[in-house]
């Protein structure tokens, strides 16, 4: 049977301060800031930052909400760790780079025969860089990190679960992953050709108390998987319902992509996302991505009010200065087009 999911699309986490998050992801991890926008849900404005590789590809997109209002509680039933691939032989560079930034790490370890380095974001988010000899994606260069050493995108997240079996059934039967290995407490699942960007690893932690599910600084909120288009989203929603995962959301308009969300049996929120026409370059030129705060068309008329709720930020050199707000043609949220009438109706 063919499944709609093709690999990882993005990971979304709650950070702490906005500036420390930008500095960490652009200078320490070395990703490209590709979008400054806001969280689309709720009564209060929060930044929503998108970081990615040089080509702003799905499978490399890390998104964060700086969210100081509440601290998250790390635990099982959560994405435990954000794992990026780097080229073979580059971990000694990363040891030096992290040392230069006074980022604590326990040295190089291995999982499934691949060496990796584990470290943490200032808000506590856990991050790894893992060597992958088959990685071919294009990274992003910074003053300190050359293209050869750069992170290329996600390998795949580590998901902490108390029990493997139900989560395994979910990823295999509902999403089309296949189990490709066990290494101690790690259970690896891959989709398509597997490898970087097409891998999930369950971390078996049977005695670890559950982590928080809501937004909270220092925790990853969800993992998003890529599907081709709205038709594939509708197909995936039908697959969930056929198998009894009936709490799948309606299709939501995330401006740059359309999404459905379902809570997996192990507690981890799983999104499926289909790029909207134009993707991340739909409201700013590709070579200008991330240089200014952009709002979705349905929030543009509230720009002044929204800006008053956000802390000032400075985008590091190499990502360009923050310039005048973008001019976006007025349109309404209902302008998003979905393939099914009932999902269109839910967005009006
Ligand atoms: Fe998401």
Q: Determine the distance separating the centroid of ligand 1 and the alpha carbon of 259, expressed in angstroms.
A: 8
For residue 65, the CA-to-ligand 1 centroid distance in Å is 11
pLDDT at 334 over 60: no
Query: How far apart (Å, rounded) are the C-alpha atoms in residues 184 and 174?
Result: 25
CA-wise closest residue to 199 among 15, 17, 59: 59
Q: What separation in Å is there between the alpha carbon of 8 and the centre of ligand 1?
A: 11
From residue 57, give the alpha-carbon distance in Å to each of 37, 117, 175, 212, 302: 18, 23, 21, 29, 30
- The answer on pLDDT for 332 being more than 60 is no
How much is the pLDDT for 158? 98
pLDDT of residue 315: 84
Cα 260 to ligand 1 centre (Å): 9
CA of 187 to the centre of ligand 1 (A): 24
Ligand 1 centroid to residue 343 C-alpha, Å: 18
Q: How far is the CA of 102 from the centre of ligand 1 (A)?
A: 30
Cα 84 to ligand 1 centre (Å): 17
Q: Is 75:305 a contact under the CB 8 Å cutoff? A: no
Spacing, Cα 252 to ligand 1 middle (Å): 10
Q: How far is the CA of 282 from the centre of ligand 1 (A)?
A: 18
The pLDDT score that the predictor gives to residue 316 is: 78
Rounded distance from Cα 222 to ligand 1 centre (Å) = 6
Rounded Cα–Cα distance for residues 348 and 253 (Å): 11
Residue 152: pLDDT band (50, 70, 90) is: very high
In this model, does residue 23 exceed pLDDT 60? Answer: yes
Q: What is the pLDDT of residues 201-236, one digit of tens each?
A: 999 999 999 999 999 999 999 999 999 999 999 999
More confident residue, 320 or 89: 89
Distance (angstroms) between ligand 1 centre and the Cα of 331 equals 23
How far is the centre of ligand 1, averaged over its atoms, from the C-alpha of 303 (Å)? Answer: 23
Query: Is the Cβ–Cβ distance between 260 and 251 less than 8 Å?
Result: yes
Query: Would the pLDDT of 78 be above 90?
Result: yes
Domains and CATH numbers, the chain: 7-280 (3.10.180.10)
Judge whether residue 10 has pLDDT over 50: yes
User: Rounded to the nearest whole angstrom, what is the distance from the C-alpha of residue 61 to the centroid of ligand 1?
Assistant: 10
Q: Does residue 59 have a pLDDT over 90?
A: yes
Mean pLDDT within 144-173:
97
Q: Can you give the pLDDT at residue 338?
A: 53
d(CA 298, CA 259): 17
pLDDT for 336 beyond 60: no
Total Cβ atoms within 10 A of residue 302: 12
133 CA to middle of ligand 1, Å?
28
Higher model confidence: residue 55 or residue 341?
A: 55
Please give the distance, rounded to the nearest whole angstrom, from the Cα atom of residue 63 to the centre of ligand 1. 8
Ligand 1 center to 271 CA (angstroms): 6
pLDDT of residue 348: 36
List the helix and strand counts (H, then E) for the chain. 6, 17
- Evaluate if residue 304 carries a pLDDT over 50: yes
- Among residues 10, 1, 41, which one has the least CA distance to residue 224? 10
Q: Calculate the average pLDDT of the chain.
A: 90
Q: Do the bridges between strand 78-86 and strand 126-131 make them parallel or antiparallel, or are there none, so unpaired? A: parallel
What stretches of the chain adopt beta strand conformation (E)?
7-15, 32-38, 47-52, 61-66, 78-86, 108-111, 114-120, 126-131, 153-154, 158-161, 178-183, 186-190, 199-204, 219-227, 252-253, 257-263, 269-275
pLDDT digits (tens, 9 = 90+) for 255-265: 899 999 999 99
Q: What is the arithmetic mean of pLDDT over 50-78?
A: 95
For residue 223, the CA-to-ligand 1 centroid distance in Å is 7
Span of 6-15, 252-261, 319-328 with lowest mean pLDDT: 319-328
The pLDDT tens digits for 154-163 are 999 999 999 9
State how beta strands 219-227 and 269-275 pair: parallel
Q: How far is the CA of 47 from the centre of ligand 1 (A)?
A: 14
Q: What is the pLDDT of residue 337?
A: 55
Which residue bears the tokens 């200014």? 292
What is the share, in percent, of the chain residues with pLDDT greater than 90?
80
- Gap from CA of 248 to ligand 1 centroid (Å): 14
Q: How far apart are CA 149 and CA 141, in angstroms?
A: 9
Q: Report the alpha-carbon distance of residue 53 to residue 130 in Å, rounded.
A: 16
């Amino acid at each position: 049977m063919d499944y709609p999911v093709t690999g990882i699309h993005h990971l979304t986490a709650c950070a702490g301060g906005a500036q420390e998050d930008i500095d960490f992801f652009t200078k320490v991890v070395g990703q490209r800031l590709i979008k400054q926008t806001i969280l689309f849900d709720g009564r209060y404005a929060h930044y929503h930052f998108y970081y990615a590789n040089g080509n702003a590809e799905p499978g490399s997109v890390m998104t964060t909400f700086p969210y100081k209002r509440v601290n998250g509680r790390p635990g099982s039933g959560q994405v435990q760790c954000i794992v990026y691939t780097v080229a073979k032989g580059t971990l000694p560079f990363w040891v030096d780079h992290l040392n230069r930034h006074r980022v604590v790490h326990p040295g190089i370890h291995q999982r499934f025969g691949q060496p990796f380095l584990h470290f943490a974001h200032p808000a506590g988010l856990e991050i790894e860089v893992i060597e992958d000899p088959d990685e071919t994606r294009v990274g992003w260069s910074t003053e300190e990190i050359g293209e050869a050493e750069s992170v290329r995108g996600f390998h795949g997240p580590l998901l902490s679960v108390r029990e493997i079996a139900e989560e395994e059934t979910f990823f295999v039967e509902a999403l089309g992953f296949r189990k490709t290995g066990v290494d101690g407490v790690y259970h690896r699942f891959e989709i398509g050709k597997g490898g970087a960007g097409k891998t999930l690893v369950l971390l078996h932690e049977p005695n670890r108390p559950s982590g928080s599910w809501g937004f909270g600084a220092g925790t990853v909120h969800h993992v998003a998987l890529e599907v081709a288009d709205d038709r594939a989203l509708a197909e995936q929603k039908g697959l969930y319902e056929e198998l009894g995962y009936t709490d799948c959301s309606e299709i939501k308009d995330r401006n740059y992509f359309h999404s459905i969300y379902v809570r997996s049996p192990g507690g981890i929120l799983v999104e499926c996302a289909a790029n909207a026409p134009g993707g991340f370059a739909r409201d700013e030129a590709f070579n200008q991505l991330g240089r200014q705060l952009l709002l979705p068309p349905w929030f543009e008329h509230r720009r002044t009010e929204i800006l008053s709720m956000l802390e000032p930020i400075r985008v590091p050199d190499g990502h360009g200065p923050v310039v005048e707000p973008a001019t976006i043609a007025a349109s309404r949220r209902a302008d998003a087009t979905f393939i099914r009438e009932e999902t269109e109706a839910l967005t009006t």
